Structure 1
Amino acid sequence: MTACGSGAGGVDGEPSGGLRALASRAVVTVAPGDGATGVPTSDALRITAADGRLTAVTVEDGRGGTVDGRIAGDGRSWRPLTHLAAATRYRVHALAEDDQGRISAKTSRFTTLVPRNTFIGHHTPEDGATVGVGMPVSLVFTRGITEPEAVERAITVTSDPPVEIVGHWFGDDRLDFRPERFWAPGTRVTVRLGLDGVQGRPGVYGTQAKTVSFTVGRSQISTVDAAIRRMTVVRDGRPLRSLPVTAGAPATTTYNGTMVISEKHEVTRMNGATVGFGGEYDIKDVPHAMRLSASGTFVHGNYWAPARTFGTANVSHGCVGLRDVRGGRDAAAPAAWLFDNSLLGDVVVVKNSRDRTIAPDNGLNGWNMPWEEWKR
């Protein structure tokens, strides 16, 4: 026993120094600290390594979702590539290695803030919709956005087949996305709203984490020539029908430009007082109305004008009217036919009117802005 003990060279029964397992010199630090609450959703999470290099970092929430991040080239730090969700508990697990290849680990937990003020984005089109080739993705936010870059980074719009899709802000509460040209028929578009935890303005955070998809149907582009009072409907490149219309009267002309159908109503009320025409008209049962602008331009059925008006005179207050019957009960009437054969997102082009081109933000009509300007 004595000889054995002397030969081992140990002290207090431990192995000799050459056999003793040494701890890693690498030290992992996680900020915020373990157990922290009310943590900001951006620029708060930092993971660093001293006397070593980070080799693996996992940040996950209680639902199994993970936060994408990147280890710096020198291995000294890790940062998330996106913001964190609000009111969420996260678990951090990080590994680092020292110059001898020895591993050090760190596990930490923290909870992000619960926002007092929030915002969402109301989206057009709806999830699952089939739309025309002119339909943009339009988001209208419930609060004015003062941090547009942060909001835009949290939204992705992709298509199959893929095309370049660019966002453009109209003011501080509306963000539209579109490609350079109309969508190809059959395109599937996916919108991912990762707004949960995004600070859109000081103290105001997004709450949405959802995915919206829609499909582009056949191509239908209707061209209204206000000078000859005629609409030509072209589907998938082939003329489908030519319809007589009445456009805006000389004092109340119709906008020129490329417009997108944004609403459809089998019957609706049109009151001139709501669009700046005082008491000039109040028609409670306008049939087959399809909105082209936010300011009140529609293509709609007209039962009150004589049949001879259509194709011969422009008498409207700026809308495009087609012959119809009261109540819209005649399926063969031009207005009924167009209504039944139109999708939200179909394109209506007006030309040769004595009016200016419609503003790009008046309805879903961003196609009237040149592509280079849109991208700027």
Structure 2
Amino acid sequence: MRKHGLAVAGICVLLVAGTACSDTKAGSGGNGQSTPGASSSQSSTPGASNTPGASTTPSESAAAAISVVPAKGATAVQPDKPVTVSTTAGKLNDVTLKDDDGDKVTGSFNTDKTQWTSAALLKPNATYTVSGSAEGTDGASVPISSTFKTLKATKSLKASVVPLNGETVGVALPIQIYWNNPVKDRAAVEKQLSVKTSVPVDGSWHWVNSKQVNYRPKNYWPAGTKVTVNIDTQGVNAGNNTWGTSSRTIAFDIGKSVVSNVNVKKHVMTVTINGKLARSIPITAGKDGFTTRSGVKVIMEKFPTKRMDAATVGIKPGDPNYYNISDVRWAQRVTSSGEFIHGAPWSTGSQGSANVSHGCVGMSLKDAQWYYNQTLRGDPVIVTGTSRHMEPGNGWTDWNTTWATYKAGSALS
């Protein structure tokens, strides 16, 4: 009985000791959080529940922490680098990026709206302001406010374009962009150029030189096509500290298809409109020493009346071949060097039988007026029958290059 009593007492002591250990952990907060299910009148852990049985996991709420790149007050920021606004807690509500002219810069959020990234390139030598707000996981709104300046360009890059905005042109007109300063990084600039068409068209850019890039389709433009050229060169780095200072959009239409074929040997020009022969016209072309060039020419300019002075092509007064005619009718330029298609009443007797001109294609006034009324700037004139050929750049000569060679002239080929 005594041994048995000692054994029971020993069990009781162990039970009391165990209870004492359990109370110490629950009441002292030794590991920073209460044991689930334990009773406590007050918790020393922030955010812990005083309600028996409730979760005691700390709250994860936090204020939005905003980061803007480039940093506030930055100067000489490169215009071709994206602007980003991000938060490490919560989400962005809205972000606005404006330059000092009040022009907005487009941009987009990621899926969870924790980051906004600008889409368009910036202007050189401009001050930009970032504004907006974010909301943290604590539900509080935090304002976004920052400013920075882009670098000052040593030289600007601006574009002059053929055709004109809103113009209706012929099926062979190449898009031509002329830069005010040389482009060193052609690939960077070409990436900012795009052509959109109302019907599918296979086309390519082709660099003529560092100050000119052209675009033509593989074949003539389909009649009636609507074309939009986007020159998104604002903020592009063209090299040599030359930066794009503006962007442009040019929209134009392609008219009906008017394709002319001049056969110098047979002294005839055939005109096909929308695939059908419309007229065969007796013509005269260049005589010996003034041979008309063969090749694909494109109508560049149109004049109801044009003065033609041989001095402009190097023939001086007193030369037997000199001429100065003040009222040449229905004149259409097809080369930079001075070849035209025009009315020539003085050569009516030779039209259809002999070549007597100084290189132009002449015809009767009646035929010239009819032809003038059919054509647009950009219509093709295909000349055959001579051994003298078009020189590159003597007019709009893009169609005298094979398609493979033309495409190879792209900086992105």
TM score, norm. by length of structure 1: 0.80
The alignment partner of 1:7 has SS state of coil
What residue is the counterpart of 1:229 in the other structure? 267
What residue is the counterpart of 1:203 in the other structure? 241
With over 3 angstroms needed to count, the CA separation of the structure-2 counterparts of 1:223 and 1:302, relative to structure 1, is same
Q: Root-mean-square deviation (CA), in Å? A: 3.6
Give CA deviations for 1:50-96 in whole Å, capped at 9, x if unaligned: 9899999966335564445797xxx9998766532332525277989
With over 3 angstroms needed to count, the CA separation of the structure-2 counterparts of 1:53 and 1:237, relative to structure 1, is farther
1:238 aligns with 2:276: yes
1:346 aligns with 2:385: no
Which runs of at least 4 in structure 1 moved beyond 6 Å after TM superposition? Answer: 48-57, 75-79, 92-98, 103-106
1:126 aligns with 2:164: yes
1:296 aligns with 2:335: no
1:214 aligns with 2:256: no
| Pairs within 5 Å for 1:29-44 | 29-43=67-81
Give CA deviations for 1:244-286 in whole Å, capped at 9, x if unaligned: 1111112111111111111111122223333344443333322
1:373 aligns with 2:405: yes
Conserved 8 A contact 1:120-1:207: yes
For 1:296, give the aligned amino acid. Answer: G
| Pairs within 5 Å for 1:118-197 | 118-197=156-235
| 2:364 corresponds to which of 323, 329, 344 | 323
For 2:62, give the aligned amino acid. Answer: A
- Say which structure is richer in strand: 1
| 1:269 corresponds to which of 295, 307, 313 | 307
Return the offset for 1:185.
0.8
Greater alpha carbon shift after TM alignment, 338-347 vs 54-63: 54-63
The alignment partner of 2:41 has SS state of helix
The alignment partner of 2:190 has SS state of helix
The alignment partner of 1:335 has SS state of helix
Conserved 8 A contact 1:67-1:84: no
Between Structure 1 and Structure 2, how many residues are aligned?
352
The alignment partner of 2:187 has SS state of helix
With over 3 angstroms needed to count, the CA separation of the structure-2 counterparts of 1:156 and 1:97, relative to structure 1, is farther
1:7 aligns with 2:46: no
With over 3 angstroms needed to count, the CA separation of the structure-2 counterparts of 1:294 and 1:109, relative to structure 1, is same
Give CA deviations for 1:286-305 in whole Å, capped at 9, x if unaligned: 221111122222112223x2
With over 3 angstroms needed to count, the CA separation of the structure-2 counterparts of 1:360 and 1:157, relative to structure 1, is farther
1:306 aligns with 2:347: yes
With over 3 angstroms needed to count, the CA separation of the structure-2 counterparts of 1:192 and 1:256, relative to structure 1, is same
| Pairs within 5 Å for 1:81-100 | 83-86=121-124, 87=126, 89-91=128-130
Q: Within 2, Cα distance between the matches of 1:360 and 1:76?
A: 54
Conserved 8 A contact 1:262-1:345: yes
The structure with more radius of gyration: 2
Conserved 8 A contact 2:258-2:273: yes
For 1:322, give the aligned amino acid. Answer: M
Q: Within 2, Cα distance between the matches of 1:277 and 1:288?
A: 23
Return the offset for 1:191.
0.7
Return the offset for 1:165.
2.2
Conserved 8 A contact 1:29-1:106: no
Q: Within 1, Cα distance between the matches of 2:217 and 2:108?
A: 29
**Which consecutive residues of structure 2, in runs of 5 or more, have no partner in the other structure?**
1-39, 49-55, 409-413
Q: Within 1, Cα distance between the matches of 2:293 and 2:94?
A: 57
Give CA deviations for 1:155-202 in whole Å, capped at 9, x if unaligned: 211111021221001011111111100011110000112122223342
- Say which structure is richer in helix: 2
For 2:383, give the aligned amino acid. Answer: V
Give CA deviations for 1:9-59 in whole Å, capped at 9, x if unaligned: 248xx64484444537x976543211334422124x464989899999966
The alignment partner of 1:306 has SS state of helix
TM score, norm. by length of structure 2: 0.74
Identity %: 31
Conserved 8 A contact 1:89-1:110: yes
Q: Within 1, Cα distance between the matches of 2:90 and 2:299?
A: 57
